[in-house]
Structure 1
């Protein structure tokens, strides 16, 4: 199996958010948040971008900006399932051999980070790629909302095999700990296999979807990046990202 030649970026988006209702349509500098994320994906310049939406209102916003939106079943249990349906609808002829699953609440994500998630797929045995960065603050290590990636990373390497993911501060002993960043690159066949799997025992225990793949024997490799992108989950996050992007636009 060779490195993917024609990746496709898919961004799942739905309006149902308990902490920030209608989050994809939240205004940031005069445009919906989902449009900012779509623009970042376009700037990564690794392939076409499709927004996998649960509601027509998000599709309308994306199309008004010139993007491609695919309406999917609102009842999907996860973003991965939504992405899979959108990819099947958009590319039934299977022209694209890899799918980058990009979260729809990362409007300040650097395009370089999107490109970085493709690199681990150059190794033939890798089914799924993801990203991580070093944890620099003790508070993050103890925070269950910060997912830790256990990565077999040789000295000097920037890509390593992910052996586990946890909300607990693992592994024990001296050495760096890695903050998992939930952006994924799937080989097309790996995505199809993943969404067909039943939820795993450890997945349910940790509430981490990626453990389903590891339990099934799929290989995940993680590439290192410098920072954690700011996600928007609360009104406070939204206010912060508005300020950040406003400052960027003035430079």
Structure 2
């Protein structure tokens, strides 16, 4: 199988405008992401709607596709970029991996874990989770900005929620993390290319609208989402404070 990484990168961000171009260790965040995945997959491309990001990617030698500013999600942007790559190169890929443009510490091992989910021919889409540790605390578990995932015996997703799932009946909440393995969703997705084409054409579903989680649209329409487990922690860049924290982490680990 051959794999293409598509890295959606928008300039307009409510909490951190221009974050793909913010410098982290002297390099733009989008360059950090690109370098993490370019050597692991067969090819990589940045998908953007902003010429400043396009120019920055070309400046560091990366590949880039200009996409519409009107996409509802990064998945939609990935689909357009993929179609343009296929038209330009005259070839198809088996799987498209959607790597968030604000994840400069995504690890090659995490990419490999997502790839291995497709060893199962029944897998339509794959994603990653990380077990919550008891040390994370109840506040982390209950954070609605950190979606939780429940899986079946074949490590396929049953449901994603901003609520804590499952609910442990008869167990004090402060003991939940020590009595059950809860999974935190890591927003890395991979799609068989024919699946990417179909899911982006689907209308928003009731569960997706309720939780504001697009992966629920895929589950509601019967797609099978394989789930890989990663013990690695990443630092997403959503705010300037996240960038400062990432800079400190980078300096500490490069000493």
CA distance in 1, matches of 2:231, 2:160: 19
Aligned 8 A contact 1:129 1:185 in 2: yes
CA distance in 2, matches of 1:89, 1:161: 31
Name the counterpart of 1:157: none
Per the TM alignment, residue 228 of structure 1 is displaced from its structure 2 partner at its CA by 3.3
Name the counterpart of 1:124: 121
1:39-118 mapped onto 2 (5 Å cutoff): 39-43=35-39, 45-92=40-87, 93-118=90-115
2:237 corresponds to 1:232: yes
Aligned 8 A contact 1:108 1:245 in 2: no
Aligned 8 A contact 1:51 1:68 in 2: yes
Per the TM alignment, residue 248 of structure 1 is displaced from its structure 2 partner at its CA by 3.0
Name the counterpart of 2:150: 150
Per the TM alignment, residue 140 of structure 1 is displaced from its structure 2 partner at its CA by 1.7
One of 237, 246, 249 as aligned partner of 2:251: 246
Name the counterpart of 2:160: 165
Gap runs ≥5 in structure 2: 169-178
| 1:16-46 alpha-carbon deviations (Å, 9 max, x no partner) | 1111111100011221110010000124x22
One of 218, 224, 227 as aligned partner of 1:219: 224
Query: 2:156 aligns to what SS in structure 1?
Result: strand
Per the TM alignment, residue 231 of structure 1 is displaced from its structure 2 partner at its CA by 0.4
Per the TM alignment, residue 94 of structure 1 is displaced from its structure 2 partner at its CA by 4.2
Query: 1:197 aligns to what SS in structure 2?
Result: coil
| Moved beyond 6 Å, runs of 4+ | none
2:190 corresponds to 1:178: no
Question: If the length of structure 1 is used for normalisation, what is the TM-score?
Answer: 0.92
CA distance in 1, matches of 2:9, 2:153: 33
Name the counterpart of 2:21: 25
Question: If the length of structure 2 is used for normalisation, what is the TM-score?
Answer: 0.91
Per the TM alignment, residue 151 of structure 1 is displaced from its structure 2 partner at its CA by 0.9
Gap runs ≥5 in structure 1: 155-159
CA distance in 2, matches of 1:54, 1:194: 21
Name the counterpart of 1:139: 139
**Number of residue equivalences:** 240
| 1:45-97 alpha-carbon deviations (Å, 9 max, x no partner) | 22100100111110111111110000000111110011100010011344211
Name the counterpart of 1:208: 213
Query: 1:245 aligns to what SS in structure 2?
Result: helix
**Alpha carbon RMSD of aligned pairs, Å?**
1.2
Aligned 8 A contact 1:181 1:228 in 2: no
Per the TM alignment, residue 235 of structure 1 is displaced from its structure 2 partner at its CA by 1.1
Query: 1:196 aligns to what SS in structure 2?
Result: coil
| 1:187-244 alpha-carbon deviations (Å, 9 max, x no partner) | 0011001101001100000000100100100010110000331101111100011122
CA distance in 2, matches of 1:153, 1:112: 23
